[in-house]
């Protein structure tokens, strides 16, 4: 049905004086129909607004449901390949090796009170998380799980240190700038090689950490990281300038609790 064109009010006033003529009556009828259509549209919009207001808000997940979501994601991300005999019965396990770190990261990403004596420095929500530990201890998996948890106001992207160097090798300074926005998790920090762009050699990750520190101080953007190095090794790898800023930028956690695990808390 075509929308009625609403005559101007001055036309309607003139038509009212000439009521009884075909043209005047048409103007008056068109005006009435147009006003009626406008009123129907207004009423419809009000009904929609009332329905939106009365619509139930999405229910918040309980702590138990959030933890179950974590277990489901962890199980899926750590499941062996399809051809592996343990593919189907596999189940992610929270044990003494990872429980304290897992609990800390839950409370960190959920903006709950942070537990004491888990991070080896003073914990704070304003800082990122530096997760250190042996090869295969599950550091990268924990961050991937929390990325997929899609926490409100605590989202981040993950990129490996090797990818960052490769981007610098291909694009130079432009490649570095692409990592200067939002919250970022750097995976395998300390395992990368020097970057090279048109013959120029650059310690790319040291540069990234310096720039991310400035971003942290100015805009509160968080940097997360995983590493196989302890604090003295990080200092040796990136220099005293970066090492002195780790406590400011990161909640520093170590994943591992067995006698075979390398614990660098004693190095502080």
pLDDT in tens, 144-158: 999 999 888 889 999
Give the least confident one: 80-89, 139-148, 158-167, 235-244. Answer: 80-89
Cβ neighbours of 90 (radius 10 Å): 13
pLDDT in tens, 197-218: 888 889 999 999 999 999 999 9
pLDDT of amino acid 41: 87
C-alpha–C-alpha distance, residues 39 and 266, integer Å: 76
Average pLDDT estimate for 103-112: 92
Residue 68 has pLDDT above 80, yes or no: yes
Confidence of residue 7 (pLDDT cuts 50, 70, 90): confident
pLDDT of amino acid 262: 44
Confidence of residue 238 (pLDDT cuts 50, 70, 90): very high
pLDDT of amino acid 81: 64
pTM (two decimals)? 0.72
Average pLDDT estimate for 172-192: 93
Q: How many residues does the chain have?
A: 268
pLDDT in tens, 12-45: 777 777 777 888 788 778 888 888 888 888 888 8
C-alpha–C-alpha distance, residues 180 and 172, integer Å: 14
Buried b (16+ CB within 10 A) or exposed e, 61-76: eeeeebeeebeebbee
Cβ contact 127:248 at 8 Å: yes
More confident site: 226 or 24: 226
- The CA angle 195-201-204, to the nearest 5 degrees, is 40
pLDDT of amino acid 63: 78
Cβ contact 206:175 at 8 Å: no
pLDDT of amino acid 163: 96
C-alpha–C-alpha distance, residues 196 and 168, integer Å: 7
pLDDT of amino acid 264: 39
pLDDT of amino acid 2: 61
Residue 261 has pLDDT above 50, yes or no: yes
111's CB contacts (< 8 A; 6+ apart) are 125, 153, 154
With CA atoms as reference, report the closest residue to 134 among 40, 57, 233, 217. Answer: 233
Residue 251 has pLDDT above 80, yes or no: yes
Residue 229 has pLDDT above 70, yes or no: yes
Q: Which domains does the chain have, with CATH numbers?
A: 9-54 (no CATH), 94-267 (3.40.50.300)
Q: DSSP letters of 156-194?
A: -EEEEHHHHHHHHHHHTHHHHHTTSSS-EEEEEET-PPP
More confident site: 91 or 268: 91
């Amino acid at each position: 049905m075509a929308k009625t064109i609403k005559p101007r009010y001055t036309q309607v006033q003139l038509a009212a004086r000439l009521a009884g003529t075909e043209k005047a009556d048409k103007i008056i009828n068109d005006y009435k129909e147009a006003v009626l259509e406008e009123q129907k549209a207004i009423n419809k919009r009000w009904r929609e607004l009332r329905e939106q207001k009365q619509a139930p808000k999405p229910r918040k997940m309980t702590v138990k449901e959030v933890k179950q979501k974590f277990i489901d994601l962890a199980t899926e991300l750590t499941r062996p390949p399809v051809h592996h005999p343990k593919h189907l019965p596999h189940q992610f396990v929270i044990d003494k090796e990872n429980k304290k770190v897992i609990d800390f990261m839950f409370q960190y990403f959920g903006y709950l009170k942070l537990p004491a004596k888990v991070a080896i420095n003073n914990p704070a929500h304003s800082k990122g998380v530096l997760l250190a530990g042996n090869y295969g201890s599950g550091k990268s998996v924990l961050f991937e799980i929390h990325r997929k948890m899609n926490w409100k106001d605590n989202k981040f992207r993950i990129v490996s240190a090797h990818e960052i160097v490769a981007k610098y090798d291909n694009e130079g300074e432009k490649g570095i700038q692409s990592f200067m926005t939002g919250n970022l998790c750097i995976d395998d920090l300390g395992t990368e090689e020097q970057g090279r762009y048109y013959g120029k050699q650059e310690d790319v990750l040291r540069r990234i950490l310096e720039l991310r520190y400035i971003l942290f101080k100015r805009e509160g953007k968080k940097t997360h990281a995983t590493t196989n190095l302890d604090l003295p090794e990080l200092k040796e790898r990136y220099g005293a300038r970066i090492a002195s800023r780790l406590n400011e930028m990161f909640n520093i956690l170590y994943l591992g609790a067995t006698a075979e695990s390398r614990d660098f808390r004693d190095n502080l």
